[in-house]
Structure 1
Amino acid sequence: MSTPMNNSLPWPADAEVLPVASVRPVLDRLSSLVTTHAQDAAAIPGLAVTEEEVSADPPPALEQIVDELGGITVRGLTMLTLQIEDRTDVGPYTLLGPATTYYPLYETPDSAVVLALDEDGTPGAVYGIGEDLALQLAAPDLGAYLERFAAALEATLAGLAERGPAEEDSEDARTDAAEQLMDQHLFAELLGMREIEEADETAGADKTTGTDGTAGTGISVVPLQDPAASGLPGLPAGALAVADLREAPVGARVDLMDVDVPGDPLELHVAWSERGRVIALLGG
């Protein structure tokens, strides 16, 4: 059963606010795209400019950015949100920690893209979470993810434009096409959908991690290891396993369920450090 989380969260107050100037170019790019393709895309107004009541409770470190941009919709589908309202700890969030340790940027019932937040509230890396609850590094920080999202949005809108004017197209078919294009250009890779498709196409092939640290699909896999053997300082008390992604490439994957620790793996939860690049698994 879903556990609703209070929209007034006890956010840590120590993190520095991300200056909106650091993401100004990509915000301008997104604004230009939705203006040019107004039939297919729209910006969700930021908290400082919206005329509607919004119950979202974003991290304080994002206040300058969320004041200006609330998200992006394509054909009415939310593809980017900085104003998530209903927080839950089930589905793709099952192995994540408290709501103050991550912030969803995109979600479906079975998958999500989240911004990792360190203990002091500092925003870090962005991860995709698939149906298997594995984490896949989507971007080293929010700015880089917004750039990646903007590139996918541009490709998607170009694909929709090739179908002709929206008023001459089937509404349902165009919406389906938009969803498929965003999956093709962004979400399929982030959420493990492409790996599943490739596995289906090569059924029976060996999908185990190779000696080069990659899965059968070529994805870099970062193993979970014993905290004592990792040599990492400052790990949280009670850490049962840890994965170090500080030098890992974008696309690297951590299989949270592939861990040999006592108890039920579904009772574990994640704690981030080093701007989301070190992942510790703690007991329930």
Structure 2
Amino acid sequence: MSTPMNNSLPWPTGAEVLPIATVRPVLDRLSSLVTTHADDAALVPGLAVAEEDVAGDPPPALEQLTDELGGITVCGLPVLDLLVENRTDVGPYTLLGDTTAYYPLYETPDAAVILTLDEDGNPGAVYGIGEDLALQLAARDLPTYLGLFADALEATLTDLAARGPAADDTDADRTDAAEQLMDAHLFAAILGMVEADDVPEAPFTAPGADTPAGVPDGALAVADLRDAEPGTRTDAMEVEVDGDPLDVRLAWSSAGLVLSVHTD
């Protein structure tokens, strides 16, 4: 059973706000796609433009972005959620520790896409978390991930249009098709949903002299993804620890690209 979190989290306040200019091109592209495919896609209004009160509690660094955009739905399915209302610490989030160290961008009961946040609240890398709790590097930063998301959204909406008008489909069939297409064009590859022998791996190793600066004290193992390519997988469950491996907690440093395993 999930453990609900308080909607008002004690977010760090030391981060610089992500300038809207860094994501303006992709926001314009998303808006154009939704306008073109209005029967299948919809924009969720941001905090500054929503006509009703919104319960989402995004980190302060995303203020300009979430003022303008709250998310994207396809056939009613949330495929990008920037105004998460309820947080939980189970399921794909079991190993993630402090709730203010990450922010979900997409989730199912068994998987999620998260944005890492440093101790000041600065956004970093984006990861997919699969059912096995392994992480896969989706993008090195949020603007890059939003670009990948826009590519997948365009491909999905194009494929849906090729099925024919939405009015000719049942709601259930259209929704199932949308889910399968978003998985095929984006989520399957970053949520461990496909078998692939050539997925690059970043193993956890014991900390030593070459451990990157900034790793929190007490790390049992460290995985360095600073030079990793997107799609690289790393699995904290493979780290040998005393007791239940589900009791370990992940932390990150170096803009979310260095992961470390802790037990306290």
- Which band: TM-score by shorter chain? over 0.9
Unaligned runs of 5+ in 2: none
Deviations 1:59-87 (A, max 9, x none): 00000000000000000000000001100
Residue 149 (structure 1) shift:
0.4
TM-score, scaled to structure 1: 0.91
1:262 counterpart residue number: 242
Q: Aligned partner of 2:203: which letter? A: P
Alignment of 1:98-247 (within 5 A): 98-195=98-195, 217-247=197-227
Gaps of 5+ in 1: 199-216
Q: CA deviation at 1:261?
A: 2.4
Q: Quote the Cα distance in structure 1 between the aligned partners of 2:39 and 2:184.
A: 21
Measure, in 2, the Cα distance between the counterparts of 1:127 and 1:255: 12
CA distance in 1, matches of 2:172, 2:6: 35
Letter in 2 for 1:124: G
Equivalent pair of 2:44/2:72 in contact (CA under 8 Å) = yes
**Contact residue 214 and residue 254 of structure 2 kept, 8 A:** no
Conservation of the 8 A alpha-carbon contact between 1:95 and 1:267: yes
Mapped partners of 1:56, 1:48: distance in 2:
12
Does the 8 A contact of 2:115 with 2:127 survive in 1?
Answer: yes
Amino acid of the structure 2 residue aligned with 1:176: D
Once the two structures are superposed, residues 90-140 of structure 1 have per-residue CA deviations (whole angstroms, 9 ceiling, x without a partner) of 000000021100000000000000001111111000000000000000011
Give how far 1:7 is off: 1.1
Q: Which residue is equivalent to 1:282?
A: 262
1:2 aligns with 2:7: no
Structure-2 separation of matches of 1:117 and 1:42: 28
C-alpha displacement of 1:12:
0.8
Task: Tell me the SS of whatever aligns to 2:138.
Answer: strand
The Cα offsets for residues 129-186 of structure 1, whole Å up to 9 and x where unpaired, read as 0000000000110000000000000000000100111112222111111111000000
Greater Cα offset, 162-171 or 230-239: 230-239
Which one of the candidate residues 224, 241, 253 is aligned to 1:273? 253
Does residue 1:250 correspond to 2:230, yes or no?
yes
Q: Distance in 2 between matches of 1:114 and 1:227?
A: 25
Pairs aligned (count) = 264
User: Does structure 2 retain, via aligned residues, the 8 Å contact 1:97–1:271?
Assistant: yes
CA distance in 2, matches of 1:164, 1:233: 54
Paired residue secondary structure (1:49): coil
Which residue in 2 is equivalent to 1:20?
20
Distance, in Å, in 2 between the alignment partners of 1:231 and 1:166 is 53
Question: What SS does the corresponding residue of 1:150 show, helix, strand or coil?
Answer: helix
Query: Would you say the 8 A contact 1:119–1:272 is kept in 2?
Result: no
Q: CA deviation at 1:229?
A: 4.9
TM-score, normalization by structure 2: 0.98
| Aligned partners of 1:129 and 1:191 also within 8 Å | yes
Give the Cα separation in 2 of the matches to 1:125 and 1:11.
18
Structure 2: how far apart are the matches of 1:173 and 1:31? 25
Shift of 1:230: 3.9
Provide the alpha-carbon RMSD of the alignment: 1.0
Give the 3-state SS of the residue equivalent to 1:228 in structure 2.
Answer: coil
C-alpha distance in 1 between matches for 2:18 and 2:120: 14
User: Hey, what does 1:31 align to over in structure 2?
Assistant: 31
